[in-house]
Chains A and B, each alone.
Chain A
Amino acid sequence: MAANFKNPVVRWIDHRLPVFTFLHHEANEYPTPKNLSYWWNFGSLAGFMLMVMMASGIFLAMQYTPHVDYAFNSVERMMRDVNYGWLLRYIHMNGASMFFVVVYVHMFRGLYFGSYKAPRELLWQIGVVILLLMMATAFMGYVLPWGQMSFWGATVITNLFSALPVVGEHIVTLLWGGFSVDNPTLNRFFSLHYLLPFVLLGVVVLHVVALHRFGSNNPIGIDTKGPQDTIPFHPYYTVKDMFGLGVFMIFYAYWVFYAPVTLGDPVNFVPANPLSTPEHIVPEWYFLPFYAILRSIPDKLLGVIAMFASILVLFVLPWLDRSPVRSGRYRPAFKWFFWMLVFDCVILTICGKSPPDWIWSPFAFSISPDVGQVGISIIAMGQLATTYYFGYFLVVLPLLSIFERALPVPLSISRPVLGAGGSHAAIAQSPKPMEKL
């Protein structure tokens, strides 16, 4: 239903180009479950981060020179000579980390509350595409300053494709545009780093369109059953998103202003040198779990396959978890395995960060190169963690779907929100779940 706009200019435009009707429909009329928790803030935060990254990136690109002889110096010039260049760069550098923080929270939210389940499978899969695009963009962006870690990170990651039989070497040469990572590589990475965020933006639009088809999932994980279960997105969730944004900005600003280089690797402040590899090559923190999975498989090709599979498995997740109950709140066994997965990802991160031949001593809380120590080697721990990671998706979830006995799920969102239902059992016995309260 078209809204009745008071402003005559708005009415004039809307009659010819119904943008205001569209916005009104997608914000003021869009019904949203009224029980969304703060975990549901992270989608809009991710959208905000995309905007911040694009804005700061466009301004950085005005100062950047994509050439092996000038790239590093042009970045240093930003830091020293360009007005507020340091700020723009730190916003962008730490913004990448912040983007991954909110997206990872957003994904774990989806994993816990079963947001990937029918009818939101495609919504989830589009989200995985977004993650892949983010990873590609972040990786190529990291190469641009042309520091030591940029160069060797690019070398290692592009060399992954050499694991492919027969065509591997040719693909790597194609990616490089030469016989090593060099100027052609830097140029194409810059081009793609500028392009991919716009592709990402397009996929985000699809993500939102798919979201608005059935609306948000919610902490209880049951469908909304009528107007009594929903509130309009605007102003209720816009204001909640704004509040969350304010809190998040404090967190973000802390990194930008007080710890701008903490999340990065100091080695990247050394200009790229194709003749000398740094001692430890580590990716940025958001890639560490995947890097750990790569390293935990002793075979080159299988390691690469495992690394890609760790993300690709998310595409089929909706069909691996067959439990009809969405929310982890009502899945007593699932909960444990879910939190173990979170813990597992932390372990994988630690493994990815540490040199593979080091020893982890859980009782001494230390990771050290001392082989005489009592403990478990990083590589073995990575293998255990990798096993659990795949085990969670490929074994635990399918088995839970069969054997787990879920708790009774409330029959409507309104009941527990308004406090009418005490125990779950009482709600389940309610004769009129849809009654208005």
Chain B
Amino acid sequence: MADHAQTPHGQATGEQGTRRDFLFLTAASVTAFGAASAVWPFVSSMNPSKDVLALSSIEVDVGQVAEGQAITVKWRGKPVFIRHRTAAEIAEAVKDDGADMKDPQKDEVRAQKPEFLVLVGVCTHLGCIPLGQKDAEPKGQFGGWYCPCHGSMYDTSGRIRKGPAPLNLEVPAYQYVSDTVVKIG
């Protein structure tokens, strides 16, 4: 190293940074910040756009659904199961509250009104749509839903009881805007 502290090119002895180091670091940080700011809009453009978000809630009149019947509505491109449970089904779900489950949850927290169960109809394993909405479809050993892809079985509360799925069927955010109209999302 040179004897003197700084050459015209800014080389310095010892620990102290040089003016060149300073310029280099400042330029590099500004560049990095600029590059990150430039990338941001590109990545952001791939997130849901305003028109997609605008369609993110729906209202459903559940008064039309007879007891024992179930309907499927589309919400955010996914099926939502709404089942009008019979008293027997509710009783069975409540009875099983203490059973050995992967994702223990009481039935009362899964339905705002016990007779209407509202669930996102997507298997929590790998995203297939479980069967069980129609009478002719298999409902699995627990009387709820049966996923044909990998054999997951859900009970009458939509809780996972058997099979590879790790979680219960998701309960979407919803509220009753009137006695029979549910707003999902």
Contact of B22 with A by CB under 8 A: no
Question: Does A84 sit within 8 A of B, measured CB to CB?
Answer: yes
**A-contact 0/1 string along B28-45, CB 8 Å cutoff:** 000000000000111011
Asked if B2 is an interface residue, CB under 8 A from chain A, the answer is no
Q: Tell me whether chain A's interface is mostly helix, strand or loop, or mixed.
A: helix
Cα distance, A77 to B51, chains bound together (Å): 8
The reply to whether the CB of B47 lies closer than 8 angstroms to some CB of chain A is yes
Q: Mark A47-72, 1 if CB is under 8 A from B, else 0.
A: 00000000110010011000000000
Chain B residues in 8 Å Cβ range of A62: 45-46
> Of A55, A56, A85, A87, which is within 8 A of B49 by CB?
A85
Answer yes or no: A123 CB below 8 A from chain B CBs.
no
Establish whether residues A83 and B51, one from each chain, have CB atoms under 8 Å apart when the complex forms: no
Residue of B nearest to A239 (CB): B27
Q: How far is the CA of A404 from the CA of B85 in the complex (A)?
A: 99
Say if the beta carbon of B4 comes within 8 Å of chain A.
no
Instruction: Decide if B50 is an interface residue (CB 8 Å cutoff).
Output: yes
A-B contacts, 7 listed (Cβ < 8 Å): A62-B46, A63-B49, A80-B51, A83-B49, A83-B50, A84-B40, A88-B42
Which residues on the A side are within 8 Å of B49 (C-beta)? Answer: 63, 77, 81-83, 85
Kindly list 12 other residue pairs between chains A and B, CB separation below 8 angstroms, not including A82-B45, A83-B47, A88-B45.
A59-B42, A59-B45, A59-B46, A62-B45, A63-B49, A80-B50, A81-B49, A81-B52, A83-B41, A84-B45, A87-B41, A88-B41
Residue of B with least CB distance to A83: B44
Task: Report B10 CB to chain A, min CB distance, Å.
Answer: 15
Residues of A near B47 (CB, < 8 A) are: 83
Q: A residues within 8 A CB of B42?
A: 55-56, 59, 84, 88
Contact bitstring A83-94, B, C-beta under 8 A = 1, else 0: 111011000000
Taking CB atoms, residues of chain B closer than 8 Å to A63 are: 45, 49
CB nearest neighbor in A for B40: A84
For chain A, give the interface size range. 10 to 19
Closest CB in chain A relative to B3 CB, distance in Å: 27
Structural contact, A81 and B50, CB atoms closer than 8 A: yes
A: which residues have CB within 8 A of B? 55-56, 59, 62-63, 77, 80-85, 87-88
Chain A residues with CB under 8 Å of B41's CB are 83-84, 87-88
* B contacts with A: majority SS: helix
Residues of B within 8 A of A56 (CB): 42
**With A and B bound together, what is the CA distance between A55 and B35 in angstroms?**
13
Smallest beta-carbon distance B139→chain A, Å = 40
Which chain A residues lie closer than 8 Å to B44 at the CB level? 83-84
Q: How far is the CA of A129 from the CA of B50 in the complex (A)?
A: 42
In angstroms, Cα B53 to Cα A77, docked, is 13
Nearest-neighbour CB distance to chain B for A256, whole angstroms, equals 11
Q: Which residue of B lies closest to A89 (CB)?
A: B45
In the complex, chain A residues whose CB is within 8 Å of the CB of B52: 81
Distance (Å) between the CB of B155 and the closest chain A CB? 40
Q: Considering residues B44, B46, B49, B50, which has the most beta carbons from chain A within 10 angstroms of its beta carbon?
A: B49
- How far is A156 from B170 in the complex, measured between Cα atoms in Å? 57
B46: chain A residues at CB < 8 Å are: 59, 62
Give the interface centre of B40, B45, B49 by most chain A CB atoms within 10 Å. B45
Provide the bound-state CA to CA distance between A87 and B42, in Å: 9
**Cβ distance A281 to chain B, nearest Cβ, rounded Å:** 32
A82–B51 Cα gap in the complex (Å)?
A: 8
Which of the listed residues A55, A63, A82, A83 has the most CB atoms from chain B within 10 Å of its own CB? Answer: A83
Interchain CA distance A80-B45 in the complex, whole Å: 12
Residues in A whose Cβ lies below 8 Å from that of B45: 59, 62-63, 82-85, 88
Which partner residue on chain B sits nearest A56 by CB separation? B42
Residue of A nearest to B46 (CB): A62
Among residues of A, the one whose C-beta sits closest to the C-beta of B47 is A83
How far does the alpha carbon of A169 sit from the alpha carbon of B44 in the complex, in Å? 46
* Bound form: Cα–Cα A88–B49 in Å: 14
**Assembly CA distance A55 to B41 (angstroms):** 12
B residues within 8 A CB of A59?
Answer: 42, 45-46
How far apart sit A87 and B44, CA to CA, in the bound complex (Å)? 11
Q: Nearest residue in B to A88 (C-beta to C-beta)?
A: B45
Q: How many angstroms from the CA of A87 to the CA of B41 in the assembled complex?
A: 8
A87 to chain B, nearest CB (A): 5
> Considering the chains assembled together, what is the distance between the CA atoms of A59 and B40 in angstroms?
12
| Cα–Cα, bound, A80→B49 (Å) | 9
Give bound CA distance, A56 to B45, whole Å. Answer: 11
- Distance A212 CA – B143 CA, assembled complex (angstroms): 73
1/0 per residue, CB under 8 A from A, across B59-70: the answer is 000000000000
Q: Which residues of A contact B51 (CB under 8 A)?
A: 77, 80-81
Complex alpha-carbon distance, A48 and B179, angstroms: 61
**Nearest 5 CB-CB pairings of A with B:** A84-B41, A81-B50, A81-B51, A81-B49, A82-B49
- The docked-state distance in angstroms from the alpha carbon of A373 to that of B58 is 66
CB distance from A194 to the nearest CB of B (A): 17
